[in-house]
Structure 1
Amino acid sequence: MTKPIVNFLDPLSIPEENLKYSIVCSKYQNKWVFVRHKLRNTWEMPAGHIEENESALQAARRELYEETGAKEFSLKLIADYSCDWQGEINCGRIFFANITHLGELPESEIAEICFFNNLPEELTYPVIQNVIFEKVNMVSST
């Protein structure tokens, strides 16, 4: 099985209509926020498909709320990316969120959220999430 190839691009370099996903690497009270889907035993960053007539920023806000219950947060655009996996190329936009207020977890596909000092070991998409985490950690700490 081939490993996905993730390429980072300057923010806003991919036209909005070519983006498929928004990923929101997040912190709450200085801990990294990861979510667990109800059908999985692994951790992932809040993320999801950009819906029709929705911008990447709107999708990031929506997904962050739906998957974590975040009510108050700041968002910082980190990068655009392309991911080539098994000959299929998908593009998205990566954000960093500093969450200041969490509400209840809305009813969704997410079973739970958890807070980590570092990247958790049991990741849903380890190759992709590792490089995204490194990029966000590098940019958000500067």
Structure 2
Amino acid sequence: MEVKFYDEIEDNKLKYAVIASRYKGQWVYCKHKERDTFEVPGGHREQGETIVECAKRELYEETGAVAFELIQIGVYSVVRGDIETFGMLFFAEISELGKLPDMEIEQISFFDEIPEKLTYPLIQPKLVEKISKTLIK
């Protein structure tokens, strides 16, 4: 498996939005109800939705964020064998969290560093590292 970064790609190829987020100086990670691991907020783009709309929706659904600054970082892809899927990487500085919607996420947690028990350990650390190098000095 390989993670790649691109300057741009055709919009219709963007299937996911991933939103690495911070709240009060800590990274925000989600724990899905069906897993014992943590993940960066994000998810699949719905039909008719822009990638920015997808990012805003997923950030709210997975964290309860109601006020935030959203910054588009760039296109990433995950290559598995002969298949390459594309997503847009975002960074969000969350200023206000509301109630966590009763959906697929059981809880959110805050970390100074990337947690050890990740749902996608070969992908998400590379995405957070990209944001750290780009934005967080």
TM-score (norm 1): 0.94
Aligned-partner SS, 2:123: helix
**Which residue in the other structure is 1:74 paired with?**
69
**Which residue in the other structure is 1:133 paired with?**
128
Percent identity (aligned): 44
Aligned length: 137
Per-residue deviation, residues 38-78 of structure 1 (Å, max 9, x unmatched): 00000000000001000111000000000000000000111
**Which residue in the other structure is 1:9 paired with?**
6
Q: 2:15 aligns with which of 20, 24, 32?
A: 20
- The runs of 5 or more residues in structure 2 that have no matched partner are none
CA distance in 1, matches of 2:128, 2:80: 18
Aligned-partner SS, 1:58: helix
Residue 110 in structure 1 maps to residue 105 in structure 2: yes
Report the aligned-residue RMSD: 0.8
Tell me how far 1:79 sits from its aligned partner.
1.2
Residue 119 in structure 1 maps to residue 117 in structure 2: no
Tell me how far 1:89 sits from its aligned partner.
1.1
Tell me how far 1:85 sits from its aligned partner.
1.2
Aligned-partner SS, 1:61: helix
CA distance in 2, matches of 1:82, 1:67: 22
TM-score (norm 2): 0.97
* Pairing of 1:75-94 with structure 2 (within 5 A): 75-94=70-89
Per-residue deviation, residues 13-39 of structure 1 (Å, max 9, x unmatched): 111111110000000001000000000
CA distance in 1, matches of 2:134, 2:124: 15
